[in-house]
């Protein structure tokens, strides 16, 4: 059998819930050991489902002009306090937001949070 080299068609930052959805859609026999470990991680650490994750990312980008990478990290971690949220904006040349904006972002995140 001739192996066709795989090509990268697109590179995009995706949230953990989307990784979970993609790996769960594959046949178990198709998963290599790395993918199995990744799926295990995604199952353990997904805080919301993939559809809600994409909706929250879109809302964060649209409402607060956040970079997609920051929005994805917020979805991955789902911070529950302004102090946790502030940590995402302290590193590097990131946008500095007022406490009132951070509270609004937190309220938006809370609206997407799955109740346990």
Q: What percent of the chain has pLDDT over 90?
A: 72
The token duo for 33 is 């050991």
Residue 49 has pLDDT above 80, yes or no: yes
The token duo for 39 is 């799926």
Please check whether residue 84 is in contact with residue 76, taking contact to mean a CB–CB distance below 8 angstroms.
no
All domains in the chain, ordered by first residue: 16-45 (no CATH), 50-112 (1.10.150.80)
- Crossing angle of helices 33-45/16-24, nearest 10°? 130
Residue 1 confidence (pLDDT):
53
Residue 96 confidence (pLDDT):
75
Sign of CA dihedral 100, 105, 107, 108: positive
pLDDT (mean) for 48-56: 96
pLDDT (mean) for 88-94: 74
Reported as a single tens digit per residue, the pLDDT across 68-78 is 999 999 999 99
């Amino acid at each position: 059998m001739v192996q066709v080299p795989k090509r990268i068609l697109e590179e995009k930052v995706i949230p953990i819930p989307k990784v979970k959805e993609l790996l769960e859609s594959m046949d178990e026999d198709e998963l290599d050991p790395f993918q199995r470990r990744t799926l295990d991680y995604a199952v353990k650490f997904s805080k919301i489902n993939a559809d809600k994750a994409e909706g929250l990312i879109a809302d964060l980008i649209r409402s607060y002009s956040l970079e997609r990478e920051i929005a994805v990290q917020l979805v991955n971690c789902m911070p529950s306090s302004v102090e946790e949220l502030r940590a995402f904006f302290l590193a590097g040349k990131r946008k500095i937001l007022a406490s009132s904006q951070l509270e609004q972002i937190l309220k938006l995140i809370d609206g997407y949070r799955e109740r346990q």
